[in-house]
Amino acid sequence: MARILTVGAAQLGPIQKAEPRSVAVGRMVHLMERAHRRGVELLVFPELALTTFFPRHYHEDIAEADVWFESAMPSNETAPLFAAARQYGIGFHLGYAEMAHEPAPGGGTRKRRFNTAILVNPEGDILLKYRKVHLPGHAEYRPERKVQHLEKRYFEVGDLGFPVVRAPMGGLPGVNMGMMICNDRRWPESWRVLGLQQVELVMLGYNTPSLNMEAAGFEAHHLRVFHSHLSIQAGAYQNSCFAVGTAKAGTEDGHELFGHSIIVNPQGEIVAQATSWDDELITADCDLDTCTLGRTTIFAFDQHRRPEAYARITEQVGSVAPPEWRK
Ligand code: ING
């Protein structure tokens, strides 16, 4: 009996800085209703899906940015999404800015801020939480940039690793599910850590500018989408898993993010792709047993991987210059 899971990518159009969470949640509930009519069993929303991509805005006092964070999940604002999931029997992935209040080393509590994603089952159980590990951009204001990208200012590096959970989803008793967020998709290490846990479905949301903001050199516009798809297709193929990449897209307060959300199969093929830069649902029936071929042949990790040759990957952070050749 094939293990089919019907998944959806719920791409969101722009969320303007002034837009309240209730409007974004309303749009997401509408997408979930449409997903229900399309037989979707697991729905993937974007990174930071409740607000505008606020790391483009500089706040000298970091506490001023607290308005962009969620101190509770679910909360009054997000409860309608959990209720819709329960009503329609749909699991969902949600990206948001997490404010965690944790015991401080010297007593009391301290605020910890993460770029977070959760996986929620229809009953409202949070099956998995992930905190973004690869934070792009910079921590201080950079006047030379066209637009700021201050994830290193507002978020701590994720401290949960790249976990995979096996849990019931849709009509299946067990699915191996994992997550990453946006920039993580560009780093093969993210994918391989999930692959080493036999992940079958990787969910990731992204907010990616359609133009290069670094002004550090020419990058042809079409390469922005190409690099995003290349990263997700390679990750899925090299770890023999399905992947859902869901964009927040469109122009937020004058700043353009690209869409092109995709669903990719274990052969690295794009099986569904969004064509707008607005709220859009794409879906695919994922036969999870098709993960087995790659996992038992070309990417049978136990038969072919040679960790003794990989030491540099965990021992080094940056690259080092190679030895000069001498005759
Ligand atoms: N956004 C972008 C991403 O990795 C970026 C940042 C874009 C980095 C292009 C490098 C090149 O897709 C987030 N939010 O990580």
Distance of CA 304 to the CA centre of its chain: 29
What CA–CA distance (Å, rounded) separates 163 from 193?
A: 8
Atom of ligand 1 nearest to the CA of 53: 14
Whether the bond between 74 and the residue before it is cis, its omega within 30 degrees of 0, is: yes
Cα–Cα distance for residue pair 206/95, rounded to 1 Å: 9
47 in catalytic set: yes
pLDDT for 219: 86
Instruction: Confirm or reject: Cβ of 261 under 6 Å from ligand 1.
Output: no
Q: Is 234 exposed, middle or buried (0-12, 13-18, 19+ CB in 10 A)?
A: middle
From 98, 129, 182, 280, active-site residue? 182
Q: How close is the Cα of 37 to the center of ligand 1, in Å?
A: 33
Residue whose CB lies within 8 A of the most ligand 1 atoms, among 56, 130, 208, for a mutation test? 208
| Ligand 1 centroid from CA 267, angstroms | 25
Residue 238 included in any domain: yes
Q: How far apart are CA 324 and CA 318, in angstroms?
A: 19
> Is residue 326 one of the residues assigned to a domain?
no
> Do residues 277 and 13 make contact, with C-beta atoms less than 8 angstroms apart?
yes
> CA–CA separation, 114 vs 132, rounded Å?
7
Domain with 250 in it: what CATH number?
3.60.110.10
pLDDT in tens, 183-197: 999 999 999 999 999
Q: What is the mean pLDDT of each run of 10 residues along the chain (327 residues)?
A: 96 97 98 98 98 97 96 97 98 98 91 98 98 97 92 98 98 98 98 98 98 80 95 98 99 97 98 98 98 98 98 98 98
Is residue 111 among the annotated active site residues? no
Give per-residue pLDDT as tens, 275-287.
999 999 999 999 9
Q: What does pLDDT average to over the chain?
A: 97
User: Which residue type, as a one-letter code, is found at position 67?
Assistant: V
Please state, in angstroms and rounded to a whole number, the distance separating the CA atoms of residues 253 and 233.
31
Answer yes or no: are the C-beta atoms of 84 and 94 closer than 8 Å. no
Cα(55) to ligand 1 centroid in Å equals: 11
Would 158 be classed as within a structural domain?
yes
Q: What is the DSSP letter of 209?
A: B
- Give the residue numbers spanning the domain of 31: 4-315
The CB of 208 under 6 Å from ligand 1? The reply is yes
Question: Closest ligand 1 atom, CA of 181?
Answer: 15
Name the phi and psi angles at 234, rounded to 5: -65, -45
105 in a structural domain:
yes
Residue 320 domain flag:
no
Sheet holding 4-11, edge to edge: 126-131, 109-120, 91-103, 42-44, 4-11, 280-287
- pLDDT confidence of residue 118: 98
Count up the domains in the chain and report the number: 1
Q: Which residue has the tokens 């009996």?
A: 1
Nearest CA to ligand 1 atom 4: 183
**182 has catalytic annotation:** yes
**pLDDT for the residue numbered 46:** 98
Q: Is residue 35 part of a domain?
A: yes
Cβ neighbours of residue 274 closer than 8 Å, sequence gap 6 or more: 9, 11, 247, 249, 259, 260, 261, 262, 280, 282
Cα→Cα distances 297→192, 239, 286, Å: 16, 11, 20
Does a structural domain hold residue 321?
Answer: no
pLDDT per residue over 108-160, tens digit each?
A: 999 999 999 999 999 999 999 999 999 999 999 999 888 899 999 999 999 99
Catalytic hit among 41, 70, 98, 132: 132
User: Does residue 194 sit within a domain?
Assistant: yes
